Amino acid sequence: MKVARTGNEAFAEAMRQINPDVVAAYPITPATEIVQIFSQFVADGLVKTEFVAVESEHSAMSACIGASASGVRAMTGTSSQGLALMWEMLYIAAGLRLPIIMSVVNRTLSSPINIHCDHSDTIGARDSGWIQLFSENVQEAYDNLIQAVRIAEHPDVKLPVMATTDGFILSHCLETMDMLLDEDVQAFVGEPPERPNLIKSVKDGKPITLGALDLQDYYFEHKRQSAEGMFNAKKVIPEIGKEFGQKFGRTYTFFEEYRMDDAEAVVIVMGSTTGTAKDVVDVMREEGKKIGILKLRVYRPFPAEELARVLKGKKAIGVMDRAEGMSATTGPVYPDICAALYDIPEGRPLLLDYIYGLGGRDVTKEDIRYICEEILKTADTGKKDYTLKYVGVRE
């Protein structure tokens, strides 16, 4: 069914169709509308959800942890400082192997205070044990959230998942999308598989402990178990993306290749910038320039081996980082790409990094074309004059 929805509306509609048992949330710009709209669905009796209006984002994630530990489906939504306020609880949710689903609207972290888009919030949480799905457009945001339920609850994964959109660019932008029928979404997500939980343990007379002190004797082993869930997610994510495609006509995997077949130079990008980059690359292709795009959809787990296979033999690659890594070297995505390519014995591409769009700074077609031309120049000459450039900043 063709509808017009903003990113926030798409997230809220997907949540309605998933019909979770518990949603706990605290409002924050630009994600407020997600839970505001969903709370109206609750008030209108369209879902069975217990909606918990808490006093902070830390409390929101704490409530979701408690709910999920009891065996039910729990969801929330947040952004920026709200996600940062959850930091402590993000690690606990992942460490307890709780399949919580979170809608995140990408917004820069303070300070200075800023309410617009970059990826510093979600990338800041990249090592917390949460699976991370990035969205190019409103359609993908909607589809990602629905798939997130199946990914998180898979018996071989059992990890929380965050699906993201870019603040204001997608969260408040009205786009045409295909919305699935309620019954089709319900059939796809199904009933949650049985897993160890507090309610079942009491009923069975076999009590369990969650969140116990875990020192030198077993902490390492338990952390390794969580890591195994992330390894397993690399198999599960494309399987669920393929099943989604078979049912609904839109197939998803770790990344999307765009005009990559004969490309000598490649730009790697995440999120909403991809659409603009595709327009630029289309024009450059008409000019005979061999440039392609790799859109990274899944950032955690990081698809290193898969990326190495498709990027092997390319002459030069430029990474577009919408976050400042504060490492005095590059942005945060660049080292992950670099590590993925390190073991290529022959034909390893030259690698460049471009930090752009911080704090919602517009990225123009001219900016992207400049980046593409720089990557092509590096491919042609076989050498790079720099590793990092800031694009669009007044220096």
- The number of angstroms, rounded, from the C-alpha of 224 to the middle of its chain's C-alpha atoms is 23
Residues 219 and 275 grouped into a single domain: no
pTM of the predicted protein model: 0.97
Query: What integer pLDDT is reported at residue 371 of this predicted model?
Result: 98
Q: What is the pLDDT of residues 151-160, one digit of tens each?
A: 999 999 999 9
Identify the domain boundary among 200, 232, 248: 248
Give the C-alpha separation, 242 to 239, whole Å: 5
Give the C-alpha separation, 156 to 150, whole Å: 11
- CATH at residue 345: 3.40.50.920
Amino acid at 278: K
Would you say how long the chain is, in residues? 395
Residues 174 and 228 grouped into a single domain: yes
Identify the domain boundary among 216, 248, 280: 248
Q: Tell me the DSSP string of 6-34.
A: -HHHHHHHHHHHH--SEEEE---TTTHHH
Residues 141 and 270 grouped into a single domain: no
Structure tokens at 264: 């000598």
Q: What is the pLDDT of residues 268-304, one digit of tens each?
A: 999 999 999 999 999 999 999 999 999 999 999 999 9
Residues 233 and 309 grouped into a single domain: no
What domain count does the chain have?
A: 2
Q: What is the pLDDT of residues 110-139, one digit of tens each?
A: 999 999 999 999 999 999 999 999 999 999
The H or E element containing residue 74 is strand 74-78
Q: Residue 166 in 3-state DSSP?
A: strand
Residues 107 and 194 grouped into a single domain: yes
Considering only CA atoms, which of 229, 215, 245 is closest in space to residue 156?
A: 229
Give the orientation angle of helix 138-153 with respect to helix 7-18, to 10 degrees. 30
Q: What is the pLDDT of residues 45-97, one digit of tens each?
A: 999 999 999 999 999 999 999 999 999 999 999 999 999 999 999 999 999 99
Structural domain containing residue 168: 2-248
Residues 156 and 56 grouped into a single domain: yes
Q: Residue 345 in 3-state DSSP?
A: coil
Residues 180 and 265 grouped into a single domain: no
Cα-Cα-Cα-Cα torsion 81, 83, 84, 86, nearest 10 degrees, comes to 130
Residues 379 and 272 grouped into a single domain: yes
| Residue 185 confidence (pLDDT) above 90 | yes
Which alpha helices (DSSP H) does the chain contain, by range? 7-18, 32-43, 57-69, 80-85, 87-95, 120-124, 138-153, 182-189, 198-203, 219-248, 273-286, 304-311, 333-341, 365-381
Residues 237 and 259 grouped into a single domain: no
Q: What percentage of the chain has pLDDT greater than the value 90?
A: 95
- CATH at residue 181: 3.40.50.970
Identify the domain boundary among 224, 248, 272: 248
Residues 123 and 237 grouped into a single domain: yes
Residues 172 and 92 grouped into a single domain: yes
| Residue 98 confidence (pLDDT) above 90 | yes
Residues 351 and 218 grouped into a single domain: no
| Residue 347 confidence (pLDDT) above 90 | no
| Residue 310 confidence (pLDDT) above 90 | yes
